[in-house]
Structure 1
């Protein structure tokens, strides 16, 4: 989720009653908690495979959430009359878990919630990473609370209720989209190993469907009310000597772990052999160039010369 929505979520949680009871330190704790996990961008360099592991890593885990909450509680107690660090840490933890971890979990990117015990990257695929239908009710609640101060708690709770209702509708529609995909795929003689539906940008209740069989991904846009999906096959890619050599590279192993729908292409450029990996999850039509493209350049003898992410 984008930082603005994270921050708005923390601020509205505070407005829903905590600020009125515990003062401005509650707003600090909840809002800072909703923003702090993305501090990992400081050690997640752009266009680096390292960032695939470190962004939404330990700072987005339950263990990291507890650590951040304690630190924030100890700091914020110094900034006002409320000295109960456990209370402030609890508010910070609420901001982290609801305002950040949950809001990231409902997107398609995935977060490593269970580090250091597991590197699994759960993702619920309910909304795109920028969703005005989430952000606007939260922003409206803050503005209304500022204009009508006596009704600020009510407007905060109302916004939370609207967001909860919206996400419930998205979850129900997502389940229906996956069911539609599986039904259509089986009707076309496809034996699915995996069926998933990802949210389309700025188009609630429209999904990019993926059906994986042995050799291909079958992709199509799903609108549940239509009841039909036009599935097109996308080959997972070739397997040859250069690809086999590329698969031994640690950066490729990391990319394979990160990608949900990886496809491989191979080509020769003069004396070089080029193996490229991309994740169909990020192949949106509005992008001018593929995001999360990993390029491995080898000599004809099989020696790896370069490994580039988003070259």
Structure 2
């Protein structure tokens, strides 16, 4: 999640655990602890693909944060808070740190909760990386706690309760969309194919669905306000890797993206895109990993991150109308390079 949400979460957790000991200093310390794991963005792993894959890595691992919390508690009690009970201080610091990656795990990006074990990042994908409906019910009580200090712990507890209820709702909404997707692909050639579902920006009402299908993928939108449960799919070119084998970095990228990867030739460049993040032509994680030589032969190159792509003005109102139940997704997804509905729509029948 974004830094504001993480800071508010850390402050709320600290305020609740502190109880009668809650002060503005405690809230500020909790906010700092809540954002601390994201300092790994300052590390450079050598190339943009590695920086993407290894973000939310060791600094978000439960195996790292628990010992770090213990060490920080010993130091803090020794030099800054000798009067605090050790268990209460350990609980405060541990909770403020660990709730950060737990919240991140609800997003689509993925969080390596169990680093260094060789397991997939946890990505529940039930909330967007920025969602005011999660953040505001948490942030407002935390800010109020700076003013009404006698009620600070209760205010923080209320904020945590409201924001947690929203996370629970997001899981319910995700489950409804999952059931709907299964019903839509049942009996088609897409039944049993890998599916990725994520909320569209700033809400848990309109959801984006991606279904892989060999050298193409199908993208659709499903709103909880839809009267017709049928999902309007758009076929998109997925492409393929032009070499007989994958370099290790691409294998890591594939594993991190769970196979939801698009290969696309753009001029003399071959771009590799994580399809889970973004939509239509707008994808924030696009990388050049190969180029054509003067002899028109593909050659591997050092990865280069590209801009996310165009965000067309028509897509903003179209996204809002789709959220309200408008079925057509042409204005959101279609472009002359990627869409070939007429040739493939019969394959869904």
How does the TM-score come out when normalised to structure 2?
Answer: 0.77
Q: Is 1:283 paired with 2:284? A: no
Whole-angstrom CA distance in 1 between matches of 2:193 and 2:215: 11
- Is the 1:219–1:233 contact (alpha carbons within 8 Å) kept by the matching residues of 2? yes
RMSD: 2.6
- 1:40 and 1:34, CA in 2 relative to 1: closer, same or farther beyond 3 A? same
Whole-angstrom CA distance in 2 between matches of 1:305 and 1:154: 55
What is the deviation of 1:157? Answer: 1.6
Q: Is 1:172 paired with 2:172? A: yes
What is the deviation of 1:301? Answer: 4.5
Whole-angstrom CA distance in 2 between matches of 1:24 and 1:203: 31
- Is the 2:278–2:284 contact (alpha carbons within 8 Å) kept by the matching residues of 1? yes
What is the deviation of 1:90? Answer: 2.9
What is the deviation of 1:9? Answer: 0.6
Partner of 1:92: 93
- Is the 1:38–1:59 contact (alpha carbons within 8 Å) kept by the matching residues of 2? yes
Residue by residue over 1:172-224, the C-alpha shift from the partner in whole angstroms, topping out at 9 and shown as x without a partner, is: 01001011011112255532322231011013221101223444322111113
What is the deviation of 1:11? Answer: 0.7
Equivalent residue in structure 2 for 1:236, among 214, 234, 238? 238
What is the deviation of 1:2? Answer: 0.7
Q: Secondary structure at the match of 1:244?
A: coil
Partner of 2:150: 150
Partner of 1:258: 256
What is the deviation of 1:24? Answer: 6.6
- Is the 1:37–1:59 contact (alpha carbons within 8 Å) kept by the matching residues of 2? yes
What is the deviation of 1:151? Answer: 2.5
- 1:158 and 1:22, CA in 2 relative to 1: closer, same or farther beyond 3 A? closer
- 1:234 and 1:32, CA in 2 relative to 1: closer, same or farther beyond 3 A? same
Structure 2: segments with no counterpart, 5+ residues:
308-349
Partner of 2:305: 309
- Is the 1:26–1:91 contact (alpha carbons within 8 Å) kept by the matching residues of 2? no
Q: Is 1:297 paired with 2:295? A: no
Whole-angstrom CA distance in 2 between matches of 1:150 and 1:28: 17
What is the deviation of 1:149? Answer: 2.8
What is the deviation of 1:306? Answer: 4.1
- Is the 1:217–1:233 contact (alpha carbons within 8 Å) kept by the matching residues of 2? yes
Whole-angstrom CA distance in 1 between matches of 2:253 and 2:51: 10
Whole-angstrom CA distance in 2 between matches of 1:141 and 1:167: 17
- 1:249 and 1:118, CA in 2 relative to 1: closer, same or farther beyond 3 A? closer
Partner of 2:118: 118
Partner of 1:105: 105
What is the deviation of 1:19? Answer: 4.5
Partner of 2:201: 201
Q: Is 1:3 paired with 2:3? A: yes
Whole-angstrom CA distance in 2 between matches of 1:32 and 1:235: 44
Structure 1: segments with no counterpart, 5+ residues:
none
Whole-angstrom CA distance in 1 between matches of 2:132 and 2:249: 35
Whole-angstrom CA distance in 2 between matches of 1:146 and 1:285: 43
What is the deviation of 1:66? Answer: 1.5
Partner of 1:181: 181
